[in-house]
Structure 1
Amino acid sequence: MCATCGCSDDAGVRVTDPVAAGHDHPHDHGDGHGHGHREPDSRTVALEVDLLAKNDDLAGDNRRWLAEREVVALNLMSSPGSGKTTLLTRTITDLGDELPCAVLEGDQETLLDAERIGATGARVIQINTGAGCHLDADMVAAGLRALAPARGSLLFVENVGNLVCPALFDLGEAGRVVIMSVTEGADKPLKYPHMFRTADLMLVNKVDLLPYVDFDVEYCVTAARRANPAVEVLEISATRGDGLESWYDWLRRRAGALTA
């Protein structure tokens, strides 16, 4: 049991190569979050500290492993339905010839998003967390061993969709990207400040829908910078293409900074 968020331990975690799996979709589509409720006590606090300290040690190992291979890893986090997978498929399609890309895909169940990524030709490994609500450094280490990303490649880690627990766990990434959708509330950075406090970049996605939804971009950006004054912000549409060249330039700078 995870003392930090109450989700289940790694007994249900599966690391799968969707190409080698040899089947379409698992039959069990369970979506239980598994969060428990407990009274805080000194033992729980000690478990939280021990858990996060162990995770940070493993994240450091991942960071060294990636740096030795000049692989730039980016942790992509958001609420479900923000457009992470759509953005990834378009990014890989547009940049794949310039920057080799690979993906660790995190979801509680199914290979659906990994199959979408795999259709672009990029190498992808699915990590199913079962009842777990986030990826951790140990899961990513197992995924890296299965994925074996090419030297000098760009590695996207698509985290499990929620704005709480993924922010707590260092995976060994070189950067963090939070994706907001204009179909969400513009006050999300105020409600979930730790997620935005740890981000290097916030992407405001689906701006093509702004004429049809009640979303104040300026309010959202101000709220994000209240949590993190240094966070960069780009407004994009992964479907229509708005702002994607600025996103690609950001990726080029990140890749160049690590491999220079």
Structure 2
Amino acid sequence: MCSTCGCSEGEVTITSGHHSDDASHCHDHAHHHHAHHDHCQCQTHDSASCEHEHEHDETIEFETSPSVEVHHHYYHHGDVHHHIHYHLAALPEAMPQPTMSEVTPTVKRTVTIEEQVLAKNDRIAAHNREHFAAQHLVALNFVSSPGSGKTTLLCETLRQLLPNQSCVVIEGDQQTQNDAQRIEATGAPAIQINTGKGCHLDAQMIHDAMHQLDAPQGSYLFIENVGNLVCPAGFDLGEKHKVVVLSVTEGEDKPLKYPHMFAAASVMLINKIDLLEHLDFDLQRCMQYAHQVNPELIIIPISATTGVGMDEWLSWLETQPCA
């Protein structure tokens, strides 16, 4: 389980979209320790020999005792935190209430040691960033809630960039390879990452996907993250920019409800503006809310279906040269 967001990945697979049935192109990550799932079970910890920052949780339950709950916190080995709960069940009022020293506990101890999640992710992200720079790749992390239309928008972007500009795509979804197949229909190579129960991509997944994705030097690398406006804000993938996509069907107050994502983004694409006449959506208010969270945010109203705003979006991409 991810200690940052509480999600549980289960089995993660990285698959080339056009080899979806070929087991030789499928990288099974069920055995791999990702940045936010590295953990071990142990009873002791030697802080001098381990770089990890760990958290210890201990629960001690008493079979008979008064109706008292005691929370005892203490620290051991510097940064190791022991948190002990004493849960005492009520005895009949006629019976004498024992003191804590008289109670013989039945101890059920679970000690979970977990590495600082984001610290390791950031180290891998820094490695990814160095790799992208060496290959002259411009990595853009597309983030949004589900149904914002970012895959449709990405497909239209690819159709207008190809074949004059090399582009590759990493697709993130919990299940299916539908989006990778849609991307490859445009002519761009794509790798699908299925995160299972996970709600975001992390730097390790991108690192592993890049080993399967033969990205030519001087390419745009579009990373389409799992639909989620919360967790992807905190996970650096090594990208140059986060591009947040917000559709007009979602409500203009999304930047205020999910400020961390909009604060982390460089560009905000307000998609599906062709539907504005059918909705109660205040475009100017949405832009004001976004700038309230991030005054430097570049905002482009756009429609992937009608093409409105595509020129402005492509012009911004040109300001991020691959060479």
Tell me the amino acid that sits aligned with residue 144 of structure 2.
S
Secondary structure at 1:57 match in 2: helix
User: Is 1:5 matched with 2:5?
Assistant: yes
- Per the alignment, do residues 118 and 231 of structure 1 end up closer, same or farther by CA in structure 2, a change over 3 Å counting? same
The CA deviation at 1:19 is: 1.0
1:32-87: CA deviations, max 9, x gaps? xxxxxxxxxx6599888711000000000000001000000000000111111101
| Residue of structure 1 in register with 2:121 after alignment | 55
Q: Which structure has greater helix proportion? A: 1
Contact 1:183/1:213 (<8 A) preserved: yes
1:172-220: CA deviations, max 9, x gaps? 0011100000001110000000000000000000010000011111111
> Aligned partners of 1:184, 1:98: CA distance in 2, in Å?
34
Aligned residues: 239
The CA deviation at 1:22 is: 2.7
Q: TM-score, normalised by structure 1?
A: 0.88
What is the 5 A alignment of 1:223-242?
223-242=289-308
Secondary structure at 1:162 match in 2: coil
| Residue of structure 1 in register with 2:17 after alignment | 18
User: Is 1:185 matched with 2:184?
Assistant: no
> Aligned partners of 2:166, 2:308: CA distance in 1, in Å?
23
- 5+ residue gaps, structure 2, are 23-54, 58-78, 81-112
Secondary structure at 2:211 match in 1: helix
Contact 2:125/2:238 (<8 A) preserved: yes
Q: TM-score, normalised by structure 2?
A: 0.71
Contact 1:4/1:48 (<8 A) preserved: no
> Aligned partners of 1:49, 1:213: CA distance in 2, in Å?
46
Tell me the amino acid that sits aligned with residue 2 of structure 2.
C
* Structure of higher RCO (CA pairs closer than 8 Å, 6+ residues apart): 1
Secondary structure at 2:252 match in 1: coil
Identity of aligned residues (%): 53
The CA deviation at 1:148 is: 2.2
Larger radius of gyration: 2
> Aligned partners of 2:18, 2:153: CA distance in 1, in Å?
21
Tell me the amino acid that sits aligned with residue 15 of structure 1.
I
> Aligned partners of 2:14, 2:56: CA distance in 1, in Å?
31
Provide the alpha-carbon RMSD of the alignment: 1.9
Q: Which structure has greater strand proportion? A: 2
Secondary structure at 1:233 match in 2: strand
Contact 2:20/2:177 (<8 A) preserved: no
> Aligned partners of 1:65, 1:43: CA distance in 2, in Å?
36
Contact 1:136/1:171 (<8 A) preserved: yes
